[in-house]
Amino acid sequence: MDDLVKLVRTYRFSSGLDDRGRVGEQIIRAVASDLHLFVFTKVAPSGADDVFQETLKGIATGLRTFRGGTDGEFWAWCYRVARHKLADHFRKQAGDRLITTTPDDLQEMMDLSAQLNPVTPSVKHDLDYGMHLLTQSKPECKEFLWNHFVFGLDYAEIAEDKGMTYDNVRMKIGRCLEEVKTLVSRYG
């Protein structure tokens, strides 16, 4: 059995609060650095700490519900928790409408990401071009495509967030991709 899964099972079957707390801290320490990198490359620095803390809190409070049998399944579960916390953060921003991701914040995120994972000039050019196309598309398309392709939310997660059906989201993303293809042919 994998190490993380052993810790999770130990956590679930611990009878004492102190034992659960100790094992829970071990689990959080084991996943924190990878999740820190994941969250901080997706959120403006001003909100990244809060999202990261909410992610760790969500994992800690949900440990009893995890039922996987491998470290890979546990990591997938952790990243799913992180994506949900990211989606909550961006949903709050979208609902607030007073808080937006400014071009400067976006540039700061891209610079941080480039420091952590340098990209080639051609990839940077393609990313800049893609961002330009997204800003030229319909605002709702930008949100759907961003959530799906950048944040990695699947159709079901977006559907739940938007109060839509799975098929509506799938078709909407398909139409948005067609919109982007039209923009590529027009501006490309």
Give me the domains of the chain, ranges plus CATH numbers: 1-99 (1.10.1740.10), 119-188 (1.10.10.10)
| pLDDT on residue 99 | 46
Q: Six-digit token pair at 21?
A: 């707390």
Decide: 59 and 12 in contact? Cβ < 8 Å: no
Q: How far apart are CA 93 and CA 87, in angstroms?
A: 10
What type of residue sits at position 104?
A: D
Report pLDDT for 58: 93
Residues found in the chain: 188
Q: Within the chain, which residues score under 50 in pLDDT?
A: 1, 97-99
CB 83 within 8 A of CB 151: yes
Q: What does the buried/exposed string (b/e) look like for 9-41 if buried means 16 or more CB atoms within 10 Å of the residue's CB? A: ebbeeeeeeeebeebbeebeeebeeebbebbbb
Q: What is the pLDDT of residue 165?
A: 92
Instruction: Return all residues near 82 (Cβ < 8 A) that are at least 6 apart.
Output: 35, 38, 39, 55
* pLDDT of 98: 43
**Is the pTM for the entire model greater than 0.95?**
no
Under 8 Å between Cβ of 179 and 141: yes
Determine the Cα–Cα distance for residues 181 and 186; give it in Å rounded to an integer. 8
Residue 97, by phi and psi: left (phi above 0), alpha (psi -120 to 50) or beta? left
Summarised one tens digit per residue, pLDDT across range 176-185 is 888 878 877 7
